[in-house]
Amino acid sequence: MNIYDYTINDLEHYFISKGEKKFKATQVFEWLYQKRITSFSDMTNIKKDVIRYLNDDFKIENLKILTKQEDIDVCKFLFELSDKNKIEAVLMHHDYGNSLCVSSQVGCNMGCKFCESGRLKKVRNLTCGEMVAQFLAVEEELNIRISHLVLMGIGEPFDNYDNVIKFIDIINTPKGIALGSRHITVSTCGIIPKIKDFIKDGKQVNLAISLHAANNELRSKLMPINKVYNLDDLIKTLKDYIKQTNRRVTFEYILLKGINDKKENALELVHLLRGMNCYVNLIPYNETSHIEFKKSDQRTILEFFDILKKNKISVTIRREFGKKVSAACGQLRANYKEE
């Protein structure tokens, strides 16, 4: 078993089952996530017989970096898992700190038409330990501290809900990595039952919604998930989320040339979101050779932004990263697989 798959509560139960005091879980977490040991024998304040059964029951499983691509303020990693599957993570340097975007699945079954990740279908879910290992590998490779985490890489996080929640617990644990809840964002295309579970779980992390269209007809063409969980039901659920958590929702909106970037699209978005505690993150599209969609021109992006701003919708335009790297989510993995 990979020790990175275990929350601190899991390890407490493990040690109790071995007749040990549960505080040893805290000690192990500190060694793993604060001192970053790679061998149980390096834990000098834990007795040898405990280390012996840790070695018998667990392994410390790190990821192999196959390749990395770098550009100004961005570094994209392609990792190989123990079963030879490939995933990506992207580190972005912002003025507020270092933000890491991690993958939650090998491939994706959501089938969003503009997304490179979904072109290679889902193989399996990642374990929480494989998500943790992305974080640890990037910090070690670049010798940095990651200050912000987003689950927006390959895969739909809420299609791997239980492992994602465990991953958040591990990243957030004070005696471990101790990344603050407000610095963690999980993104979903809108799986309503899991958003309801997320409300009940009471996690204080940020919620982002991949929206990309403000009417059901267009959104269903771009995102098949909308045929299952339509906009009306999604917005109703998100209003309930805002009411119960008193937290703001982020809406991600990729601007696609001639598809969803017109004035009427912006006004539809205003009508859909007016009065909600939310903000819109407008995203310039990363074009790929495999998908026909094109990036909106700068003038169109700014006009769209202005319409939202003038109608009292909080809005930002995401800074563009990685012009010299395979910037689209899943693109590096897809290119490597095809080569």
Question: Does the predicted model carry a pTM greater than 0.85?
Answer: yes
Domains of the chain, each with CATH number or no CATH: 3-57 (1.10.150.530), 64-338 (3.20.20.70)
Q: Which residues contact 267 (CB under 8 A, 6 or more apart)?
A: 307, 311
Q: What is the pLDDT of residue 332?
A: 55
- DSSP bridge partners of 186: 151, 207
Look at the alpha carbons of 80, 83, 86, 88 in this order and tell me if their dihedral is positive or negative.
negative
Q: What is the pLDDT of residue 291?
A: 81
Side chain identity at 157, as an amino acid letter?
P
Q: Give the strand pairing for 184-188 and 74-80.
A: unpaired
Q: At what angle do helices 192-201 and 231-245 cross, to 10 degrees?
A: 0
- What's the gap between Cα 42 and its chain centre? 31
Q: What is the pLDDT of residue 106?
A: 97
Q: What is the pLDDT of residue 319?
A: 87
C-alpha 257/C-alpha 260 separation (Å) is 7
Q: What is the pLDDT of residue 339?
A: 46
Asked whether the beta carbons of 89 and 136 are under 8 A apart, the reply is: no
Q: What is the pLDDT of residue 119?
A: 72
* Tens digit of pLDDT at every position of the chain (339 positions): 999 999 999 999 999 999 999 999 999 999 999 999 999 999 999 999 999 999 999 999 999 999 999 999 999 999 999 999 999 999 999 999 999 999 999 999 999 999 987 677 899 999 999 999 999 999 999 999 999 999 999 999 999 999 999 999 999 999 999 999 999 999 999 999 999 999 999 999 999 999 999 999 999 999 999 999 999 999 999 999 999 999 999 999 999 999 999 999 999 999 999 999 999 999 999 887 668 899 999 999 999 999 999 999 999 999 887 555 554 554 554 554 544
Asked whether the beta carbons of 153 and 144 are under 8 A apart, the reply is: no
C-alpha 64/C-alpha 214 separation (Å) is 41
Q: What is the pLDDT of residue 204?
A: 93
Q: What is the pLDDT of residue 338?
A: 44
Query: With helix as H, strand as E and coil as C, how does the chain read?
Result: CEHHHCCHHHHHHHHHHCCCCCHHHHHHHHHHHHCCCCCHHHCCCCCHHHHHHHHHHCECCCCEEEEEEEECCEEEEEEECCCCCEEEEEEEEECCEEEEEECCEECCCCCCCCCCHHHCCCCEECCHHHHHHHHHHHHHHHCCCCCEEEECCCCCHHHHHHHHHHHHHHHHCCCCCCCCHHHEEEEECCCHHHHHHHHHHCCCCEEEEECCCCCHHHHHHHCHHHHCCCHHHHHHHHHHHHHHHCCCEEEEEEEECCCCCCHHHHHHHHHHHCCCCEEEEEEECCCCCCCCCCECCHHHHHHHHHHHHHCCCEEEECCCCCCCCCCCCCHHHHHHHHC
Q: What is the pLDDT of residue 324?
A: 54
CB count, 10 Å around CB of 254?
25
C-alpha 44/C-alpha 12 separation (Å) is 19
C-alpha 283/C-alpha 245 separation (Å) is 26
- List residues with catalytic annotation: 88, 329
Q: What is the pLDDT of residue 188?
A: 98
